[in-house]
Amino acid sequence: MANSWGIDAFYYTGYLFCLITIAQSLNTEELSTQSFEFEDQNTGNWWLKLDDETIGYWPRSLFTSLGNSATTITWGGAALSLGERPPMGNGHFPNKVIDTDSAAIVKNIRVWKDRDLQNPSLPTLRLPPLRGPGPRPRRPGGLRAGRPPQGNPCRVRRLHVGGRGPPRNAGFLARWLEDGSADFRVGSAALAGCRFAVFGVGSRAYGLRRFNAFARDLSGWMRGLGAVEVVRSGEGMWMVVGLRWSLSGGARGDEEEGTDSEEDVEAEESGVVDLEDIAGKGPSRRSSSSVLKSMVLNGEENGLKEMGYKIIGSHSGVKLCRWTKSQLRGRGGCYKHSFYGIESHRCMEATPSLACANKCVFCWRHHTNPVGKSWKWKMDDPLEIVNAAIDQHRKMIKQMKGVPGVNNERLSEGLAPRHCALSLVGEPIMYPEINTLIDELHRRRISSFLVTNAQFPEKIRALKPVTQLYVSVDAATKDSLKAIDRPLFGDFWERFVDSLKALYEKEQRTVYRLTLVKGWNAEDIDAYSSLLGVGNPDLVEIKGVTYCGSSATSKLTMENVPWHADVRAFSEALALKSNGEYEVACEHVHSCCVLLAKVTKYKVNGRWHTWIDYDKFHDLVASGKPFSSEDYMAPTPLWAVYGAEEGGFDPDQSRYKKERRHGAAALQT
């Protein structure tokens, strides 16, 4: 039987299903069998099933002209006699057009594309089960076969790894785990009965991106397949630079350590892994030979630079916040200073990813930054990003020397940042090495305030503890979220809700960040209230949208900007809807921003504790022990509390009000 991939040049996986009827002789019982052939779209291997038995597959290497599509499907057959006579079939020609009594036929031929498999009326596609390593017999015609394992054992003894990938005799295990964890057909419970722990050893001399990369990947793959990590993954460092590693332990259960089957070696040399072994996709995208491009193109870079951005490498940026300059001059700090006690003049505003998965109507940057749903650009080292960000930040701080109000003490403090707001523009959590970057910030005792746009729930779950984790809740209903955020993902609402659920699982400080836009989302108090129980945030920041001028990408006007009184009214109403779970804790009138906080956690003996003990936080991170948000909170000063006469303005700062004259008064001298 012969067939081709796909039909009419559609780029879908092709399948062929038919019923083969075999007639041995006239007037005998009809014998029939079902044949099902399909190509796995991830590996390119062609599988053969007869009835309910998986026979095996033809490796991708046998097919050279079916890489993408085909325009024709053909089928046929050949008759074979076990004896000398008759030479073919039963010796009788069919006596009518369709003769099921005296000849073999092929019927019920059907072509499927992968989208058709969603049709419940079609037979279920059952892939072969995972099997362990070992000799694999070959069948005639290049057809490979395998034996499914009994049970689901998983024992890993020692895996000493050098570089970013496994050594040769651990390659099968690594590919099996990586591909299985990414294949929906394998499922997230394939290793549900397995318990494991990983300790990686490497050298930082090769860069943070390579340091213990395989150990981190191995832990993620195991957890992705349902295995339970009994001890949090550890990372060790060689004290001798340039020391070479070798595999001293096996990864083959009861097999003799260090042994490889002949076919495993052949598969590794050819780079082809059998589908029956991995039950997953083909080679990883990371091994692709295609050249990755820079995230920021020249035109985009120029637009961002005009707004004051300093571009770092190929995808990161840093910018000096207006509140950093304000507190350097002793003229007051931002709302984070009032709510959480940061020193605004020592805060660095940066992002490791200028790309975003949304095109929000209130974007401050008028969509001058790139967009994307996944990381598809070349990637800079996180250590280099942190070093360059601090260097550029210091250069911008130095430019403030001599500005009225900036004294040497504050300037010196500003040159040593203690806080990093990963919320500049784009989606910082998209950066694949975000955890390593956060580790580097914390190692330097720089706190982390990370904002995500609620479109990458899996990234939120994989995120290491940060000082404070924000999720932007720009709308409370599916329709309004689509209108305001203009997301790229088709399943944006499901991703949004799942991101809130991922936030619920975090032990450190979590925040809903609401941006109120009059006429768009400022009237959905009931819907917002229902979302509080989904993510159970510690805090809720409610801020009026900042008008950034009109553009072709946004039709907002000053009519859409709420007054602080509007924000206060919304906040009080939302707190009332929570039935006492949240209360209005702080406000910063100048930023048109109000903070709601959980009463049971942050109101201690009648006093709010929304501020952060940053030294305590860094000590907790360095200890490596689990901790919660209550372990590093500090009392909120009375001037920052909601309703205080100061309106959230630090009395130790000098308030400066710019005189604004409009109309005829502006022409007077």
- For the residues 630-646, what does the mean pLDDT come to? 96
For residue 348, pLDDT over 80 is answered with: yes
Query: What pLDDT, on the 0 to 100 scale, is given for residue 7?
Result: 33
Planar angle of CA 157, 159, 165, nearest 5 degrees: 150
Banded model confidence at residue 300, pLDDT cuts 50, 70, 90: low
Query: What pLDDT, on the 0 to 100 scale, is given for residue 23?
Result: 40
Lowest-confidence region among 125-129, 404-408, 428-432 = 125-129
- For the residues 231-254, what does the mean pLDDT come to? 42
For residue 618, pLDDT over 90 is answered with: yes
For residue 417, pLDDT over 80 is answered with: yes
What share of the chain in percent tops pLDDT 90? 41
For residue 444, pLDDT over 90 is answered with: yes
Using only C-alpha atoms, the chain has a radius of gyration, in whole angstroms, of 31
DSSP 577-612: HTTTSEEEEEEEGGGTEEEEEEHHHHEETTEE--EE
Most confident of 179-193, 251-265, 295-309, 445-459: 445-459
What share of the chain in percent tops pLDDT 70? 61
- For the residues 469-491, what does the mean pLDDT come to? 91
Gap between the Cα atoms of 102 and 95, Å rounded: 8
End-to-end, the C-alpha distance of the chain in Å comes to: 94
pLDDT digits over 65-115, tens only?
555 556 566 666 655 544 545 555 555 555 544 455 556 666 666 666 554
Lowest-confidence region among 226-235, 418-427, 472-481 = 226-235
Query: What pLDDT, on the 0 to 100 scale, is given for residue 195?
Result: 84
For residue 448, pLDDT over 80 is answered with: yes
Query: What pLDDT, on the 0 to 100 scale, is given for residue 376?
Result: 87
For residue 501, pLDDT over 80 is answered with: yes
For residue 249, pLDDT over 50 is answered with: no
For residue 324, pLDDT over 70 is answered with: yes
- For the residues 173-194, what does the mean pLDDT come to? 78
Q: By C-alpha distance, which of 449, 444, 453, 480 is closest to 465? A: 449
Gap between the Cα atoms of 285 and 225, Å rounded: 20
Banded model confidence at residue 148, pLDDT cuts 50, 70, 90: very low
- For the residues 441-467, what does the mean pLDDT come to? 96
Which tokens sit at 325?
């300059």
Query: What pLDDT, on the 0 to 100 scale, is given for residue 531?
Result: 95
Which tokens sit at 532?
């509080």
Lowest-confidence region among 203-212, 402-411, 478-487 = 203-212
Lowest-confidence region among 86-100, 441-455, 629-643 = 86-100
- For the residues 30-39, what does the mean pLDDT come to? 64
Banded model confidence at residue 364, pLDDT cuts 50, 70, 90: low
Query: What pLDDT, on the 0 to 100 scale, is given for residue 502?
Result: 96
Query: What pLDDT, on the 0 to 100 scale, is given for residue 350?
Result: 94
- Average pLDDT score, the chain: 74
> Which residue reads 């660095």 in tokens?
348
For residue 441, pLDDT over 90 is answered with: yes
Kindly state the greatest CA–CA separation across the chain. Answer: 117
Residue type, 350: A
Are 100 and 90 within 8 A, CB to CB? no
Give the containing element (helix H, strand E) for 510: strand 509-516
- For the residues 419-423, what does the mean pLDDT come to? 93
Give pTM, 2 decimals.
0.57
> Which residue reads 């004294």 in tokens?
407
Banded model confidence at residue 117, pLDDT cuts 50, 70, 90: very low
Omega of the bond prior to 86 within 30 degrees of 0, cis?
Answer: yes
Most confident of 129-143, 323-337, 518-532: 323-337
Higher model confidence: residue 32 or residue 605? Answer: 605
Query: What pLDDT, on the 0 to 100 scale, is given for residue 302?
Result: 66
